[in-house]
Structure 1
Amino acid sequence: MAGKLSLEEIKNETVDLEKIPIAEVFEQLKCGPEGLTTQEGENRLQLFGPNKLEEKKESKILKFLGFMWNPLSWVMEAAAIMAIALANGGGKPPDWEDFVGIICLLVINSTISFIEENNAGNAAAALMAGLAPKTKVLRDGKWSEQEAAILVPGDIVSVKLGDIIPADARLLEGDPLKVDQSALTGESLPVTKNPGDEIFSGSTCKQGEIEAVVIATGVHTFFGKAAHLVDSTHQVGHFQKVLTARAGIREVHFFPFNPVDKRTALTYIDSDGNWHRASKGAPEQILTLCNCKEDVKKKAHAVIDKFAERGLRSLAVGRQEVPEKRKESPGSPWQFVGLLPLFDPPRHDSGETIKRALNLGVNVKMITGDQLAIAKETGRRLGMGTNMYPSASLLGQHKDESIAGIPIEELIEKADGFAGVFPEHKYEIVRKLQERKHICGMTGDGVNDAPALKKADIGIAVADATDAARGASDIVLTEPGLSVIISAVLTSRAIFQRMKNYTIYAVSITIRIVFGFLLIALIWKFDFSPFMVLIIAILNDGTIMTISKDRVKPSPLPDSWKLKEIFATGIMLGGYLALMTVIFFWIMRETDFFPEKFNVRPIKDSPKEMMAALYLQVSIVSQALIFVTRSRSWSYFERPGLLLMGAFVIAQLVATLIAVYANWEFAKIKGAGWGWAGVVWIYSVIFYIPLDFIKFAIRYILSGKAWLNLLENKTAFTTKKDYGREEREAQWAATQRTLHGLQPAPERASLFLEKNSYRELSEIAEQAKRRAEIARLRELNTLKGHVESVVKLKGLDIDTIQQHYTV
């Protein structure tokens, strides 16, 4: 046995804590099974450092300079160098004006990009800090949930099913764990870890529950990985403690729940010293465990079905004697005790969430381990349909003969949900939906959901999910309920719409600038000042930045990158604007139309004044194009965001003042006066009007949609008003009435004879929901009264424990 070492020597890994006995681990770490005190933990945190990898801080200066090192910046830098390295010809000095303009534009663009990315990075860091996992640690003799970053060698932590091990640790007394180390060692199957064995940071607990002593944290762990923190474990409720104390029961061993066995068990000693074992869990598992006869199983299933018809889940209970008085003993034969009904209603917002998802074109399917009858009842309550199948009949060894002739993929695609689901079925359901070219999102909270969450296109871990589920997900919800998913869908569609709008705008403006100036240069040998191009680009950048804050209408149904439509729209709009600029320049240079019609002085003999007028025309139509591309309907009537509108007004005010008053010799521009500024504005507004018609025409040619839908912005797969929302609400209302016995099931065709019936049906449905809720409350009060009667009959103090039980 090695002599005692200092904590500094422990930090330097002088002793191999993985190999020595547990008792010596406690001795070397100067701790015990009762854990550390808060003060000792803080002292050790100063010595060992936080339980995470050292973060490399990025230099702000280097990050800023990085925005000047990309292909677009290289082109601008090369142009700046050429402006001073090459003379203008004829012995003239370098073009310092263009050099300064290009450098200013480069610095402005880099500054804008740096600020935007820095803000995004700060927001992401704040979000990650809020999502930091927690671990259950024993400090000051009490279990509490703490951030894993505070763990130090000597801490006692709790590890259970679904947790990701937060640090390297040694297991204490308890049942063996099943640990998935595949991410660390490549082993494909979970490894059994017995008391005394080491568990590594980053591995996942697949079965069992046990305490462990931390031996290494942060960079000192096996692979130097930052710990994923242990998910919260439920404290023993006060009512449980009271009943245990009153009944004189002493717990000997607890077998935790796992998704394979679907049950939990407790070995205990009663007040007379006799050993017993009780188990609760899924009825099928308990009935099999108790080896019940067929008539008992039939009676039990009949009761379960009655419960299920009322939306109540069933929990079976069994018990056995343990005459050998050892926790490892198999005990005497199990006895079936009975069934407990559990009322587990959907969340108050679930129905509305599902309705909104359906209205957004998101098909919702229920995947549950409950029985088929419960799943159908829940589906009726939520208005999501009752076309459900037990997953075993679809994906199990013995498939249902009645559906054997129908392709499984088609059944899964058309189903509203699946009942009696095992963990492996969830993965298969997602995989087969993806094979049918569906984009799948999957919600889950347990370790058994992790494979399906990983397989799905979008894995969503709900609030209080296990670490394994969080690690496999793309999105982690921080609030209970699923309504936030609808907000995420709308937000993502708004972001997608902004990206799509900007892409069309970028294609259009590129075509417009390149071909417009190219034709003017080729036909009239007129060179547009590079410095004025920079001014246009700078003002455009300021306006384009506000697109990210613009008010947009999310697509009513899932959208996609329709590249043919994007490029066709961009090319046609850009080509039209380029042609309008060329026509404007021709009228201004070759005719007296503007002087005659608007009583302005001719400027066709003044290239610098023509430069000012041309600059203003290009600036106006370039930025006005944003309003066309941002809207799928009439751009004149769809109000943009105040920030976008304000940026446009300011940019065009600056452009107009430049066109009126500028007299910059280096830029070859001279103000043309307010008269010509008015002419340019009138010309630009007139030729802005056809842009929406061009947009609609392109969409019609490519999609073949009816003109009515185009003009009313109906982009869904239906021509019904509001995308059939009223019809959905009426169907849901009728379903609620039928569910609660207010009317027989109506014929489908009779639901929508009169549009005025929608509101009436909705009101009746609301009344039905209220009556159903009152009935459920009466059931709860009845169960509550029964529980109180039993407790009083047993001689327990009801006043003491009244506030601590839950039905």
Structure 2
Amino acid sequence: MSDQRPNNAAQAQPVDPAPSAKSNAAAAPPSPTSAATPPSTSSKGQTSTLGPEAIAAQLSTLKSSAKGLSSSDAAQRLSQYGPNAIEAKEEPLWHKLFGYFWGPIPWMIEAAALISLLRADWADFAVVMGLLLYNAAVGFWQDAKAASALAALKKDLALKARALRDGAWVSVDAATVVPGDIIDVPGGAIVPADLLLISGDYLSVDQAALTGESLPVSKKVGDSAYSGSIAKQGDMQGVVTATGNNTFFGRTAKLVASAGSQSHSQKAVVQIGDFLILLAAILAAVLVGVQVYREIIVPDQWNWATAGSILQFVLVLLVASVPVALPAVMSVTLALGALALSKQKAIVSRLSAIDELAGVDVLCSDKTGTLTQNKLTLAAPIVFNNAQAQEVILAAALATQSSSEDAIDQAVLKGVTDASHLSQYKQTHFTPFDPVNKRTIATVTDSTGKAWQFAKGAPQAIAALCKLDANTETAYDSKVHELASHGYRALGAASSDDGGNSWKLLGILPLLDPPRTDAKETIANTKELGLQVKMVTGDDVAIGAEIATQLGMGANLLVASDVFPKGTDAAHIPQTSITAVEKADGFGRVFPEHKYEIVKALQQGGHIVAMTGDGVNDSPALKQADCGIAVSGATDAARNAAALILTAPGLSTIVNAITESRQIFERINSYVYYRIAMTIAIMVVVVLSSVIFNIQPLTAIMIVVLALLDDIPIMTIAYDRVSPAKKPVRWEMHHILVFSILMGVMATAQSFGLVLIGMEWISNPTLQAWIPLDASHLQTALFLQLAAGGHMLLFVVRTRRSIFRPLYPSWQLFLAVVATQIVAVLLCAAGVLVTPLPWTLIGLVWAYVLVWTVLTDAVKLAYYRYGPPARTEAPGLHAPIAASA
């Protein structure tokens, strides 16, 4: 930790009513307790959060106590308050597993399986159940990977603590620490619980992972230290004020447990399933009504065989209505997309992130280490009293211990252009930084043996040391405030050659964490993709505004606590807050509750939100965001809560990931068009054929084989050539259903047209003399037509252009389709699972399909030219609409 704490940009900002214990005089981010939720009740029925006044009233373990808690008292409190551990109710494994068999598409598959079972159609039953189990296995595996965020949070808690028990300092398990315990926190230790510091001279705490502050914070008596933060230097004692889930750290874990939302692709699949269920129910009612009238009412007789035949028709319709491979194909396509993203240095931990990233229209980015280099750098010194710039830097360096690893000290030492100048001085005495004096003083001797003293520290502390005259003080304060307004941290430097009786002001050292070299270009590229980037930082707004201005993000940063006052309900954020969040360029003084609320506010405004982060404090927001992004070097908690993990520093990887995800979205969209259209066609053809001609045009096993033939090769759509959208895209179900129904009508006309031709063929002696045809041959011909027409339809819907113009299908997709069609032709020619067809008839079916493909393509072009515009792009930031899926 540094032996000084420079003044920062916060001086130019209003002082927060609950500032943290920063060692400088500037206003700092609000204490986490100021934004925390009220003390909650433990599982034992008692509060496990004690305020300082309650502690003083109830306990004799504050400063005046030399014994701490007794062992018996500690045991009683442990029973009363519960263990100092994060407790979370996890959904039982059986309940999670049951969820994969509950929903529109699983219901349809299960109904088809039940009818197959009742009719003892074991082949149909086995195939349908196999697909059901496969879909459940894929979903269960993906969700299991996302359940480790809380476990990662727990890993960061201290395992041991040094507590004052029965008058002696003893090492105890951190889980047994209770409110009222006196805890010793030496440098290097993890703070085991929320503490009120009551004794000790100095403690430097790194709480960046909790609060987002870019530098360690100096603590003094009366300040709070938070569970999970790391003591860097010093040694202080504190009384425990909160344990377990009621600590600041624990509340973060609670937010992680409660965060999360259903992905838009999941909602789209549910809506597709709902639509197909409704259509299937209507068609089933028509089919059953006609069959009951035809088979039972007219003959006026009932028997189980007749009921079984009607059930057989319903089975075929149900199997036809179920897009059995839809979840599996989407999962595999997303998985292949995830592999492509991994080559772009983006690891996908939740497949839905790909879909969400394509639709993101607001990116909330952490500042430190993501937009900046996380490395303090000296700017040109501001000199006083005719000092030279290097003289100011050298003086500050001489007032620093060379072994210090503090970021500020390192920046000062690196600012010395010639290290040999330091070797000309020998440090004989060093006065370390303390929170009261806010400066360091070093006594050194030069090469002639003369003694000098050098000081550095907060500007106001150096000014007081030098006893400035009125004019110099005015100029000095003006420079400090000017630096603060531009986001710089200011460090004063002074020297004395008379033993410290009088001090000479040398100047001010401006310090700034500079932007990454690629950050400005990345922000510009991100804006070109239609996203607004908002900075979210734990530092003060002035620091963030300076960086944001340099990067072209806009300087309208708000204090998070002003937008979300204490007590804000994240489930019902006021419209005023939502509007403020939408218009802001970023936020300063941000804490976990704020990040979470920022994401919720944007989502309530109809936006799809990506949030970057790297610390424990980011975990709730990362999980709640539509696409949480853990940046390079993130903690385990952040990585496990995120859906996307970047392995390269900075945001440039996100630009590549967005482009890739939009290409994947286009591929999946093409598949959905095709799948809905073909499902409609098969269902309607089955009903029309049954109602009009009283024939079963397809068997259940044919429909299942069709699903496999159509969908397995289409998994190669992940390699298809597509043009990514220039703006964020959405699941626009209105357009999807309208266009899919139009294509379904064309596919229905094609298939039922073949049925009509086939029925005429069967009754025409001339055609029968040429090629004999019966109902079973017609079933095979329809099977072949659907297999071929389905893939031709995919080629039609995959592009808004004519299928005869680029972009042509990728070779992987094209060869997969060709191979599948060869298999389908061979099945029909050899009579495997179907009645064999002569080669002449196979050729006629293919010619018929090709003619209809050209007609369907013409209808598609007319729709895109004259039909309603497709609103698949995300809304503008200030005119949000709710995502339709």
Q: Sort the TM-score into its range (normalised by shorter chain).
A: 0.5 to 0.7
Q: Give how far 1:619 is off.
A: 1.7
Change (3 A) 1:346 1:650: same
SS in 2 for 1:689: helix
Aligned to 1:353: 522
1:316 to 487, 491, 515: 491
Offset, 1:572:
0.2
Alignment partner, residue 680 of structure 1: 845
Structure scoring higher RCO (CA < 8 A, sep ≥ 6) equals: 2
From 475, 486, 489, the equivalent of 1:299 is 475
Q: Secondary structure at the match of 1:346?
A: coil
Counterpart code for 1:315: A
Contact map agreement 1:313 1:374 (CA 8 A) in 2 = no
Most deviating of 466-475 and 483-492: 466-475
Q: Structure 1 426/700 Cα, relative in aligned 2: closer, same or farther at 3 Å?
A: farther
Instruction: Show the counterpart of 2:674.
Output: 505
1:111, distance to aligned residue in structure 2 (A):
4.5
Q: Is the contact between residue 609 and residue 625 of structure 2 (CA under 8 Å) also seen in structure 1?
A: yes
Partner residue of 1:569?
A: 739
Where in structure 2 are the equivalents of 1:374-523 lying within 5 Å? 379=549, 382=551, 384=552, 388=555, 423=590, 439=608, 441=610, 443=612, 462-463=631-632, 477=646, 479-523=648-692
Q: In the aligned structure 2, how far is the partner of 1:177 from the partner of 1:65?
A: 51
Give how far 1:480 is off. 2.4
Partner letter of residue 299 of structure 1? A
Instruction: Tell me the secondary structure at the aligned position of residue 683 of structure 1.
Output: helix
The CA distance in 2 between the partners of 1:367 and 1:431, in whole Å, is 14
Per-residue deviation, 1:612: 0.9
Partner of 1:247: 427
Among 90, 98, 109, which residue is 2:131 paired with?
109
Supply the distance in 2 between the matched residues of 1:248 and 1:586 (Cα, whole angstroms).
104
Mapped contact 1:430–1:455 kept (Cα < 8 A): yes
Counterpart of 2:705 in structure 1: which amino acid? I
- Shift in Å at residue 352 of structure 1? 3.0
1:265 is matched with 438
**What's the offset of the Cα at 1:522?**
2.4
Which of residues 690, 701, 704 is equivalent to 1:534? 704
The Cα of 1:573 is off from its aligned counterpart by 0.3
Q: Is the 8 A contact 1:442 1:456 kept in 2?
A: yes
Q: Structure 1 residue 694: deviation in Å?
A: 3.1
- Summarize the alignment of residues 617-628 of structure 1 with structure 2, pairs less than 5 Å apart: 617-628=785-796
**SS of corresponding position for 1:316:** strand
Instruction: Give 3-state SS (helix, strand or coil) of 1:338's partner.
Output: strand
Match of 1:698, as an amino acid? Y
In 1, Cα distance between the equivalents of 2:624 and 2:494?
40
Contact map agreement 2:440 2:455 (CA 8 A) in 1: yes
What letter is aligned with 1:265?
K
2:356 aligns with none
Cα shift readout 1:35-64 (whole Å, capped 9, x = no counterpart): xxxxxxxxxxxxxx999889999989x988
Question: Structure 2: which amino acid aligns with 1:680?
Answer: V
Work out whether residues 450 and 468 of structure 1, in 8 Å CA contact, stay in contact via their aligned partners in 2. Answer: yes
SS in 2 for 1:356: helix
Counterpart residue number, 2:286:
none
Aligned to 1:615: 783
8 Å contact kept, 1:372–1:389: no
8 A contact 1:581–1:618 mirrored in 2: yes
Contact in 2 for aligned 1:173/1:210 (Cα 8 Å): no
Residue 609 (structure 1) shift: 1.2
**Contact 1:167-1:227 within 8 A present in 2 as well:** no
Would the aligned equivalents of 1:547 and 1:644 in 2 still touch at CA under 8 Å?
A: yes
Which whole-Å CA distance do the structure 1 matches of 2:637 and 2:203 have between them? Answer: 16
- Aligned counterparts of 1:429 and 1:220: Cα–Cα separation in 2: 23
Partner SS state of residue 726, structure 2: coil
- Give me the whole-angstrom Cα distance separating, in 2, the residues matched to 1:519 and 1:447: 59
Shift of 1:487: 3.4
- Output aligned runs, 1:578-617, within 5 Å: 578-590=748-760, 602-603=770-771, 605-617=773-785
CA pair 126-549 structure 1, distance change in 2 beyond 3 A: farther
Question: Could you tell me how far apart the structure 2 residues matched to 1:538 and 1:209 are?
Answer: 67
Residue 613 (structure 1) shift: 0.8
Task: Give secondary structure in 1 for the equivalent of 2:532.
Answer: coil
The structure-2 alpha-carbon separation of the partners of 1:499 and 1:704, relative to structure 1 and needing over 3 Å to count, comes to: closer
1:107–1:236 Cα change, 3 Å: farther
- When the two structures are aligned, how many residues end up with a matched partner? 596
- Distance of aligned partners of 1:517 and 1:238 in 2 relative to their CA distance in 1, 3 Å threshold: closer
Partners of 1:390 and 1:222 in 2: CA distance? 29
8 Å CA contact 2:153–2:636 kept in 1: the answer is: no
Residue 530 of structure 2: SS of its match in structure 1? coil
Contact 2:713 2:816 in 1 (8 A): yes
Q: What CA deviation, in whole Å up to 9, does each residue of 1:429-479 have, x standing for no partner?
A: 989988976555555668998999899776656445689988998766554
The TM-score, its normalising length taken from structure 2, stands at 0.50
- The aligned residue for residue 863 of structure 2 is 698
Q: What is the one-letter code of the residue matched to 2:754?
A: F
Q: Output the amino acid matched with 1:236.
A: S
CA distance in 1, matches of 2:704, 2:88: 44
1:144: which partner in 2?
none
Supply the AA of the counterpart residue of 2:404: V
Asked whether the equivalents of residues 681 and 747 of structure 2 are also in contact (C-alpha less than 8 Å), the reply is: yes
* Alpha-carbon distance, 1:571 to partner: 0.6
Residues 170, 213 of structure 1: 8 Å contact kept:
yes
RMSD: 6.9
Unaligned runs of 5+ in 2: 1-47, 49-54, 72-82, 162-172, 178-182, 208-217, 255-367, 376-402, 414-421, 446-450, 564-575, 877-885
* 1:617 positional shift: 0.3
Q: Is it true that 1:557 corresponds to 2:579 in the alignment?
A: no
Whole-angstrom distance in 2 between the partners of 1:452 and 1:124: 15
Aligned-partner residue type, residue 105 of structure 1: V
Give, in angstroms, the shift of residue 508 of structure 1.
Answer: 1.4
CA distance in 2, matches of 1:409, 1:83: 52
Of all paired residues, the percent bearing the same amino acid is 28
Pair 307,715 (structure 1): closer, same or farther in 2 beyond 3 Å: same
Structure 2 residue aligned with 1:671, among 832, 836, 844? 836
Give the AA of the match of 2:743: L
Deviations 1:590-635 (A, max 9, x none): 2599999xx9975564111111111100122223333344434445
Question: Is the Cα contact below 8 Å between 1:164 and 1:228 reproduced in 2?
Answer: no
Mapped to 1, the partners of 2:545 and 2:868 lie a distance apart of 40
The aligned runs of 1:767-782 (5 Å cut-off) are none
Tell me the CA shift for residue 210 of structure 1. 6.1
Distance 1:558 1:575 in 2: 30
Kindly provide the amino acid, as one letter, of the partner of residue 538 in structure 1: L
Per the alignment, in what secondary structure is the counterpart of residue 481 of structure 1? coil
Distance in 2 between the 1:210 and 1:432 partners?
A: 41
- Deviation track 1:122-171 (CA, whole Å, cap 9, x = no partner) reads 765899999996579999xxxxxxxxxx98989x997999x996668997
Distance 2:176 2:665 in 1: 47
Give the TM-score normalised by the residue count of structure 1: 0.54
Deviation at 1:660, TM superposition (A): 1.4
Deviation at 1:110, TM superposition (A): 3.3
Q: 1:457 to 1:125 in 2, by over 3 A?
A: closer
C-alpha deviations, 1:545-581, integer Å up to 9, x for none?
A: 4556656543221112222211110110001110111
